[in-house]
Structure 1
């Protein structure tokens, strides 16, 4: 069951098309996997379109439109959470790693030709860079069973979507479909579940900054590991 979602403000911005492109990619992919957020965004989009149409006809002022939209949005987000019945994407192109095949959510399929080769980082950690355009760094990250990313914080923002499997980071436990937004105020150590590997898609502004043990030694070189794919 999906437990971690984009904020309501982020969903509104996504529905209105005003959030940053890199954030929009993750929110869209999350909606592929989360019936609850997908339903919210659809409703927000329909309401906005209807109110703008009425405004174009000159029947209402901008202030009335804004007030009605705010009231309708409050009604949407106050509804009881919906438990998705079949929310995980089961069709589309696949990634192959560790002898397994993982389906890519529809919103990420357009990047399937821009995925670089898998490379082994440390321990049970693997990475495949993805070229999404712009300056942001995007990667598929795979942790084998019990594998982990060394303790780190973030110079900028990190947004991660769990595509398959689960992991914990000393703060929360995350499962397939969960959306995680972190910044420089967060420090964590992601560790995959012992009974299965975990695949995530992550977009960061800057390379990770490792904060514990030997991993701190690779900080000067982290830009070489967490970088944009050059694959065309």
Structure 2
């Protein structure tokens, strides 16, 4: 069950086309997995379309918005018969993962898997711009050492579940971490966990041997 979503403000900005490309991509991928947020985006998009033709409408009436939101989130999105593109898959050691539709166009931009420390695997994704995107797979018992962030990290759980000392996350969950957060992602799932992560600055490790990497972390950022 999806418990962590983009904020209404983020979904509103996304639907209005005012969001940075990297953030827009990962939120779009979350909406591929989350009917609740996908329906909200439809609502916001319709509202923005209406205001184009009504310059006197500076903001949505809160009561009207609440009623519309209640109605639309109870409905399924009609994408049209036969309009669904086939989802791309990602493979690692015989495991196959179905990717959210929004990531389909980057399927040819995924690099080779590389084994990091412990039971962690990483595959870079070239999405352009100044951000760094990766698929990260944690085998059972695998995790990323305790760290905080020099910038912002956006993460979408594509398949599986993990915990980080702050919360428990499942497939479809979306989260944003920054310098105010210190966490230690770890999965105990037999199937492991695959996430899609976008960062705009290197991580900063805060515990144990991993702190030795910090002076050189910029070398691995791009």
- Normalization by structure 2: what TM-score? 0.89
Separation in structure 2 between the aligned mates of residue 91 and residue 166 of structure 1, nearest angstrom: 24
- Note if 1:120 corresponds to 2:115: yes
Displacement of 1:70 in angstroms is 5.2
Which runs of structure 2 are paired with 1:85-100 in the superposition (5 Å)? 91-100=86-95
Displacement of 1:52 in angstroms is 1.5
- Normalization by structure 1: what TM-score? 0.85
SS in 2 for 1:14: helix
Match of 2:185 in 1: 190
| RMSD of aligned alpha carbons | 2.3
Contact 1:171 1:188 in 2 (8 A): yes
Q: Deviations over 1:49-93 (max 9, x none)?
A: 12323x2xxxxx43xx12336554444557797699xxxx99411
Corresponding residue to 2:60 among 59, 68, 81 = 68
Separation in structure 2 between the aligned mates of residue 82 and residue 181 of structure 1, nearest angstrom: 27
Separation in structure 1 between the aligned mates of residue 108 and residue 153 of structure 2, nearest angstrom: 23
User: Which structure 1 residue ranges, 5 or more long, are not aligned?
Assistant: 56-60, 228-232
Contact 1:155 1:206 in 2 (8 A): yes
Match of 2:206 in 1: 211
Q: Number of residue pairs matched?
A: 215
Match of 1:42 in 2: 42
Which runs of structure 2 are paired with 1:137-156 in the superposition (5 Å)? 137-156=132-151
Separation in structure 1 between the aligned mates of residue 31 and residue 196 of structure 2, nearest angstrom: 14
Match of 1:200 in 2: 195
Indicate how the Cα distance of structure 1 residues 169 and 32 shifts in structure 2: closer, same or farther if over 3 A, else same. same
Contact 1:164 1:200 in 2 (8 A): yes
Match of 1:230 in 2: none
SS in 2 for 1:66: coil
Displacement of 1:104 in angstroms is 1.1
Indicate how the Cα distance of structure 1 residues 28 and 150 shifts in structure 2: closer, same or farther if over 3 A, else same. same
